């Protein structure tokens, strides 16, 4: 068929056609010059694969384990906001897609469906992503609700003391509706005659004083493991280990916060080396191909998170589209592993890739 979708990137085109410009820009856009947004994808292209031949790849084992939970492939669904802007069923459709693919979905703090609604939608392992507000009792409320609803981990997003400047949202006068998880708890419908409510929404209620010493407080209010999302340096990876993080997510918030931060794949190895494989390191940002997943695993990630492509699939074809995105990445990873001579995820090693740093060192 001429209109058959053959790559994940094609869903972005379909999403752009399906969504109002304001909503498409909200999902697709990045901070300021969008340098980091672009680099997240581009830097994957600078990594070369080094396949092994004459290896028995008649069977490929894709499954892996994250915090004791087995998933069908090392590809998880990243926390992204307001899925109902993409599709009427919102996060309920995304959760069902994750369950059908036997993977872990991380539900966003800024979801358009509640913690409880998503938990009731299907039986699956899922994590909850948290921002800490100035009113700490709200974080306590959300964490306790997530724990009661069967979520298996808390993902603390650490790179957003203030909201990044997304110029498309300002031009479009983008306004978010009331967050479902905060209904009856706090109102964040902060509208402005000047346009977008996104900046006041975060800057007026988010706790910009939250720091490393406060992780002890967060650990005191839950029995769930805490992963820290937004780590980009060796120094912060070391601090995350010191405060007892159960996992680290290498992320620059999809290029939506501080522009000109490094592409996540370019700093992944530095973070992995700092952690020493004591806790899982996940990579978020720029994954669009199975080869991207393979490269991240070769550089030490235990799994990758996929955000925008799932939203694009949801916008284009609902639950089926989100599911198709995940299946396409999984199928591409399986093919890459076979062609690279890796019969299992554990067989993927550092020797299967060559980076710019490797090429530079070989010239010295």
- DSSP for 105-123? EEE-TT-SS-HHHHHHH--
- Is residue 251 part of an annotated ligand binding site? yes
Q: Is 157 helix (H, G, I), strand (E, B) or coil?
A: strand
Q: Residue 64 annotated as binding?
A: no
Q: Is 317 annotated as a binding residue?
A: no
- Is 80 annotated for ligand binding? yes
12 is in an annotated binding site: no
| Residues β-bridged to residue 305 | 76, 284
79 has binding-site annotation: yes
The dihedral over CA atoms of 247, 253, 259, 263, expressed in degrees to the nearest 10, equals: 60
Question: Residue 291, annotated ligand binder?
Answer: no
Closest CA to 159 of 36, 329, 337, 45: 36
Annotated catalytic residues are 253
Decide: 190 and 201 in contact? Cβ < 8 Å. Answer: yes
Burial class (CB in 10 A: 0-12, 13-18, 19+), 250: buried
Residue 96 half-sphere exposure toward CB, CA atoms < 13 A: 12
Does 253 count as an annotated binding residue? yes
- Who's near 54: CB < 8 A, 6+ residues apart? 341
Known binder of ligand: residue 98?
Answer: no
Q: Is 159 annotated as a binding residue?
A: no
What beta strand segments (E) does 27-161 contain? Answer: 48-49, 64-66, 69-71, 75-77, 105-107, 126-130, 154-157
Instruction: Confirm whether residue 96 is marked as ligand binding.
Output: no
Residues annotated within the binding site for glyoxylate are: 131, 253, 256
| Binding residue positions | 79-81, 108, 129, 131, 157, 229, 251, 253, 256, 284-288, 307-308
Which residues belong to the annotated binding site for FMN? 79-81, 108, 129, 157, 229, 251, 284-288, 307-308
């Amino acid at each position: 068929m001429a209109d058959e979708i053959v790559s994940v990137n094609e869903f972005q085109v379909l999403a752009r056609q399906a969504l109002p410009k304001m909503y498409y820009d909200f999902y697709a856009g990045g901070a300021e010059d969008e340098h980091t947004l672009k680099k997240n994808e581009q830097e994957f292209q600078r990594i070369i694969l080094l396949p092994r031949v004459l290896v028995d790849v008649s069977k490929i084992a894709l499954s892996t384990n994250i915090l004791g939970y087995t998933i069908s492939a090392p590809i998880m669904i990243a926390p992204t906001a307001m899925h109902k802007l993409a599709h009427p069923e919102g996060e309920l459709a995304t959760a069902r897609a994750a369950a059908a693919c036997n993977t872990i979905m991380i539900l966003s703090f800024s979801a358009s469906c509640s913690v409880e609604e998503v938990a009731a939608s299907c039986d699956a392992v899922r994590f909850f992503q948290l921002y800490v507000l100035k009113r700490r009792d709200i974080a306590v409320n959300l964490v306790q609700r997530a724990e009661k609803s069967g979520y298996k981990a808390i993902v603390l997003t650490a790179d957003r003391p203030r909201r990044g400047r997304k110029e498309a949202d300002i031009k479009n006068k983008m306004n978010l509706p009331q967050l479902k998880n905060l209904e009856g708890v706090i109102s964040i419908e902060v509208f402005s005659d000047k346009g977008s409510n996104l900046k006041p929404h975060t800057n007026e209620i988010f706790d910009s004083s939250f720091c490393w010493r406060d992780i002890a407080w967060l650990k005191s209010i839950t029995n769930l493991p805490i992963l820290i999302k937004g780590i980009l340096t060796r120094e912060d990876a070391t601090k995350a280990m010191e405060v007892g993080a159960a996992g680290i997510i290498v992320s620059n918030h999809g290029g939506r916060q501080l522009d000109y931060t490094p592409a996540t794949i370019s700093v992944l190895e530095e973070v992995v080396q700092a952690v020493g494989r004591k806790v899982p390191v996940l990579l978020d940002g720029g994954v669009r191909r199975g080869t991207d997943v393979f490269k991240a695993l070769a550089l030490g990630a235990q799994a990758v998170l996929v955000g925008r492509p799932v939203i694009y699939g949801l916008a284009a074809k609902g639950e089926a589209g989100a599911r198709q995105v995940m299946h396409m990445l999984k199928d591409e990873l399986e093919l890459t592993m076979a062609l690279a001579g890796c019969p299992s995820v554990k067989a993927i090693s550092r020797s299967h890739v060559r980076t710019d740093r490797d090429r530079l060192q070989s010239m010295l």
